[in-house]
């Protein structure tokens, strides 16, 4: 279990932490710092200079619940003084820049404490900018997170997969661009609840085509995510793909009476098993030697192929993905259909 830790902002409700003792106990007193940096006027930005990192340690202590790590929300609003603010609504730091020095140090200290006291735990940053070295050690000047969400990959991939397959060849850069910067950080590829709420549509509804095509594209998307370098993350809203995520309602387990929905569940289960058992898919996730393109230029057929390599140079997996709804040509060797991968 990964627990959300949200030091960046909190609700302004009267029954919440805002002005808890009648003073600005946790938030900024200056309105140029107090208004939320996450774009929501209903919440306040935490004063990182006051926040105690001990609040992140308690959930990780051995006790009734086992917590594997922390996912820190809205890290960008902790790092930039002008995040989601207009000119005149923020105050520069002592050096005249827009970096939040207290937020930077809070992130570093939190990660130092977690990794020092709980060596097996991970920390994940939901950070949407190009802030350098988010997942690099603090002694090298990084923020110290184990992983960073690859928001660019997520947006590009959803934009690409939502297109009708006949148009995908004109947008192939959205599929391949992420591999240009994939090893700059320890990335995780996220399909979170944020992508299936507030009328953004369910994962299934994002897919083009008829019902068969929607499920085929969804399997293709998940298979490509697992085969791509970096870690993968898929929320419950993705595994139950037919409706938007709603925290006020239970999961729609009754959908499993349909073979199509059972198929998605089995498919994700099998992907997890394959990913765990096949070393080439995870042993060298964050270094270039774990990945090698075979062909990314077949845009007319929307087919990509690449190698994933393990620590043993002879341990390699060939992955082939067909992003069209056709199964190949009449040449005797058909290309795989949507969602198919080939292993050698």
Q: Which of 52-61, 115-124, 243-252 has the highest mean pLDDT?
A: 115-124
Burial 234-248 (b: 16+ CB within 10 A, else e): bbebbbbbbbbbeee
Segment 156-181 mean pLDDT = 95
Q: In this predicted structure, what is the pLDDT of residue 224?
A: 96
More confident residue, 198 or 301: 301
Q: Look at 104-118, 185-199, 277-291 and tell me which has the smallest mean pLDDT.
A: 185-199
Say whether 126 is catalytic.
yes
Q: Which of 126, 185, 230, 285 is catalytic?
A: 126
**What was the pLDDT predicted at 236?**
54
Q: How many CA atoms does the CB half-sphere of 161 hold within 13 Å?
A: 28
Record the tokens describing residue 209, joined without a space.
């085509």
Which band of pLDDT confidence, cut at 50, 70 and 90, is reported for residue 9? low
The sheet carrying 316-322 orders its strands as: 291-298, 303-309, 316-322
More confident residue, 318 or 20: 318
C-alpha to C-alpha distance for 42 and 235, rounded to whole angstroms: 26
More confident residue, 322 or 60: 322
Query: Which position among 27, 47, 73, 185 bears the catalytic label?
Result: 73
- Overall average pLDDT of the 12-21 stretch: 72
Q: pLDDT at residue 334 above 50? A: no
| 232 DSSP assignment | E
* pLDDT at residue 135 in the model: 96
Q: Report the predicted TM-score, pTM, of the whole model to 2 decimal places.
A: 0.82
How many angstroms separate the Cα of 201 from the Cα of each of 37, 180, 241?
Answer: 26, 29, 9
End-to-end CA distance of the chain: 34
Res 336: pLDDT: 45
Question: Phi/psi zone of residue 45: left (φ > 0), alpha (ψ -120 to 50 degrees), beta?
Answer: beta
Q: Is the pLDDT of residue 312 over 70?
A: yes
pLDDT at 342: 39
* Predicted confidence (pLDDT) at residue 181 exceeds the cutoff of 70: yes
Assess whether pLDDT exceeds 90 at residue 148.
yes
Query: Which pLDDT value is given to residue 235?
Result: 61
Q: What's the whole-number mean pLDDT along residues 294-298?
A: 95
Q: What is the mean pLDDT of residues 138-165?
A: 94
- Could you give phi then psi for residue 275, rounded to 5 degrees? -60, -40
d(CA 282, CA 308): 9
pLDDT (mean) for 268-289: 94
pLDDT at 331 over 50: no
What value does the mean pLDDT of the chain take? Answer: 81
pLDDT at 184 over 50: yes
């Amino acid at each position: 279990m990964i627990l959300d830790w949200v030091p960046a902002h909190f609700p302004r409700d009267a029954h919440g932490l805002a002005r808890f003792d009648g003073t600005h106990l946790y938030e900024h007193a200056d309105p140029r710092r107090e208004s939320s940096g996450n774009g929501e006027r209903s919440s306040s930005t935490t004063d990182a200079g006051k926040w105690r990192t001990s609040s992140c340690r308690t959930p990780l202590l051995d006790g009734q619940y086992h917590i594997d790590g922390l996912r820190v929300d809205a890290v960008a609003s902790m790092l930039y003084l002008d995040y989601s603010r207009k000119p005149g609504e923020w105050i520069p730091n002592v050096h005249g820049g827009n970096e939040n020095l207290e937020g930077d140090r809070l992130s570093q200290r939190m990660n130092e404490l977690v990794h020092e006291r709980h060596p097996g735990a991970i920390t994940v940053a939901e950070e949407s900018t190009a802030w350098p070295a988010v997942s690099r050690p603090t002694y090298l000047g990084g923020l110290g997170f184990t992983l960073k969400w690859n928001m660019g990959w997520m947006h590009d991939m959803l934009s690409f997969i939502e297109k009708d397959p006949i148009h995908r060849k004109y947008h192939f850069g959205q599929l391949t661009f992420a591999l240009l910067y994939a090893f700059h950080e320890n990335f995780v590829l996220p399909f979170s609840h944020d992508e299936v709420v507030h009328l953004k549509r369910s994962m299934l509804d994002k897919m083009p085509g008829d019902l068969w095509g929607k499920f085929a594209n969804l399997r293709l998307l998940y298979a490509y995510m697992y085969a791509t370098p970096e870690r993968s993350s898929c929320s419950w809203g993705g595994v139950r793909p037919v409706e938007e995520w709603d925290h006020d309602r239970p999961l729609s387990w009754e959908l499993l009476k349909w073979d199509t929905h059972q198929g998605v569940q089995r498919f994700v289960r099998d992907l997890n098993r394959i990913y765990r058992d096949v070393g080439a898919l995870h042993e060298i996730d964050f270094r270039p030697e774990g990945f090698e393109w075979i062909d990314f230029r077949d845009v007319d057929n929307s087919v990509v192929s690449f190698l994933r390599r393990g620590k043993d140079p002879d341990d390699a997996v060939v992955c082939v993905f067909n992003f069209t709804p056709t199964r190949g040509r009449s040449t005797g060797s058909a290309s795989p259909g949507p969602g198919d991968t080939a292993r050698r």
